[in-house]
Amino acid sequence: MEFHSCQQRLASVLLLCFWMLFIRAHGSRKRSRRYKTTTTRSWDFLGLNYQNPSELLRRSNYGEDIIIGVVDTGIWPESRSFNDKGYGPVPARWKGVCQVGEGWGSNNCSRKIIGARFYHAGVDEDDLKIDYLSPRDVNGHGTHTASTAAGSVVEAVSFHGLAAGTARGGAPRARIAVYKGGAGSGNSATVLAAIDDAIHDGVDVLSLSLGTLENSFGALHAVQKGITVVYAATNFGPAPQVVRNTAPWVITVAASKIDRSFPTVITLGDKRQIVGQSMYYYEGNNSSGSSFRLLAYGGLCTKDDLNGTDVKGRIVLCISIEISPLVLFPLALKTVLGAGASGLIFAQYTTDLLGITTACNGTACVLVDLESANLIASYISEASSPMAKIEAARTITGEGVLAPKVAAFSSRGPSVDYPDIIKPDIAAPGSNILAAMKDHYQLGTGTSMATPHVAGVVALLKALHPDWSPAAIKSAIVTTASVTDERGMPILAEGVPRKIADPFDYGGGNINPNRAADPGLIYDIDPSDYNKFFGCIIKTSVSCNATTLPGYHLNLPSIALPDLRNPTTVSRTVTNVGEVNAVYHAEIQSPPGVKMVVEPTVLVFDAANKVHTFKVSFSPLWKLQGDYTFGSLTWHNEKKSVRIPIAVRITIQDFYADVA
């Protein structure tokens, strides 16, 4: 894969996860904007174990015949993840096509990949030269996401022995329809064309692991046709206000980490051992990490820092404090290897950028935190001949790993386009996810990887509840999400510094598929209601005016009040989809600084009363130009808990820049 220099791409979006480095997306001044595309353990971690299937997997028959449309960089049909053995005929309702092209014939579609299209209008000529003019995936990104959502079961896969296990999609019996945006990136024209075709073809779910520079009004047409649309939140975190794809009718997905780590032991010459993290593996005869080597201090490991330092054959300690590790690591790696070093110990503040070490390609390199780096640096300065040995990484899973956590790169809210709507909606696994790439399996990181996890869950829910609307499915996912880990500890959000996660990190929380299958209550929305709030007109295309009503009046499974000055009341309506006779009680967690009242506090459902509306009133306790505080409202009984996140900001002045 091609690695573009950070200097060339400082203004562009990286959603090619982390097999490329983060690179910011720049908007073209052309009419069509370009979009950069941004599983072993993850599905088990979410409670969807294939060998011991949950009720959701059994009752949905693993997503049988649900059609997932994947708008991405194409697909590699020969991958074992798309084997169609045991599949029945293509669903009769399918109206799509298998578009032939370069390196792609009609035989590349199957009972698994039931349709494939590609689009190249408006795609740069340089991009077209390095790609197939067909649905075939030269990049690998689309193959990775498609196999994560709906890949068939493939046993005994790994990344050079790491993360070994059985790869599969969340809905392994679902069908896949491919919509290739073109050359590893799409633009607004190709993406809109793909969505229009997907609506016509008859997909049930759309998964789009790409970042847009405007909100996806094109997706509204799909939602109004009953298609659930799932978008990536993008990878600009941990900065606030950078979440993308924030239209209220789509599901916007943040990335979280699973209970798997790759500890790597560094043994110093004085026998002390320090455990870092890496993707280091022994390759062929290259086992330099298994023996002691001289250890050198390289500072930032720029050419200036290493000037005059003999690092040939040595392991070099590099420390990143003032410069982002995303920028410094590839430069340090290139510099030390160019100087003949045998390995790299790279120190950074506590974060989760393990994916950058895949660029080491078998070279002994490992990430450590600043505390560990200080210990190593002290040893280097004190020892007459400092030595170190780096062992290959191991794979550890289970309770000993703190998880889930929101990944540092995952884009955070609030939405600058719609601050009266909480975004992202949900978090799902998106860090070091093993899935198909061409004929092998690769670890990928990014909200691009989190998005197909949600799309796979949506497919299962759609199979189980075919009459549920996209809003109902979204509600079930958001209101049943986890905000604590299995020990009852709050989910953390990686960042600078690490903190307890809030709704702008993960929306409702980390996805819990089995609970979403039976949520008890749902917050449903008639798709035509979006027109009232956004003035949207759908004819041959979609056009939307400025918000005509505050978005917090939509019946969303969340409440956001970005400018609370006076008492404000919003209403919500819930529909009982659980036991016919049920009583729910309100549990209120008021945002600090806000008085919050719910009326009524008890909802009684029976055969004649399946729907109830309630009001939530908010009053500021102080008069100030404040910041967001967070709370929640939970309807619960002895069996169910239906929680929505709440974000409120007290203000006294319009358009007041929060910069000091």
Question: CA–CA separation, 324 vs 163, rounded Å?
Answer: 27
If you search the block for the tokens 């409670």, which residue do you land on? Answer: 47
For residue 366, how far is the Cα from the chain centroid?
Answer: 24
Number of Cα atoms under 13 Å in the Cβ half of residue 462: 29
What is the residue type of 175?
R
Of 463, 547, 538, nearest in space to 248 by CA: 547
What pairs with residue 435 in β-bridges? 442
Of 575, 603, 601, nearest in space to 588 by CA: 601
Of 556, 584, 468, nearest in space to 517 by CA: 468
Q: Is the separation of the CB atoms in 337 and 315 below 8 Å?
A: no
Annotated active-site residue in 147, 209, 448, 469: 448
Of 470, 72, 112, 425, nearest in space to 255 by CA: 425
What pairs with residue 344 in β-bridges? 316, 365
SS (H, E, C) 178-221: EEECCCCEEEHHHHHHHHHHHHHHCCCEEEECECCCCCCCHHHH
Instruction: Find the helix or strand (DSSP H, E) in which 348 lies.
Output: strand 343-348
What is the residue type of 256?
S
Instruction: Find the helix or strand (DSSP H, E) in which 346 lies.
Output: strand 343-348
Annotated active-site residue in 120, 141, 465, 612: 141
What pairs with residue 346 in β-bridges? 318, 367
Annotated active-site residue in 72, 204, 425, 505: 72
Of 167, 194, 192, 193, nearest in space to 178 by CA: 194
Active site residue 558: no
Instruction: Find the helix or strand (DSSP H, E) in which 327 lies.
Output: helix 325-338
485-507 burial, b at 16+ Cβ within 10 Å, e below that, comes to beeeeebbbbbeebeebbbbbbb
Q: Is the separation of the CB atoms in 602 and 636 below 8 Å?
A: no
Q: Is the separation of the CB atoms in 117 and 194 below 8 Å?
A: yes
3-state secondary structure of 236: coil
For residue 406, how far is the Cα from the chain centroid?
Answer: 9
Of 204, 177, 179, nearest in space to 111 by CA: 177
Active site residue 141: yes
DSSP annotation of 104 reads B
Active site residue 518: no
Residues 6+ apart with CB under 8 A from 88: 65, 111
Instruction: Find the helix or strand (DSSP H, E) in which 165 lies.
Output: strand 162-167
Tokens encoding 316: 């070099």
What is the residue type of 442?
Q
Question: CA–CA separation, 345 vs 367, rounded Å?
Answer: 6
DSSP annotation of 312 reads T
Q: Is the separation of the CB atoms in 115 and 88 below 8 Å?
A: no
| Residues belonging to the active site | 72, 141, 448
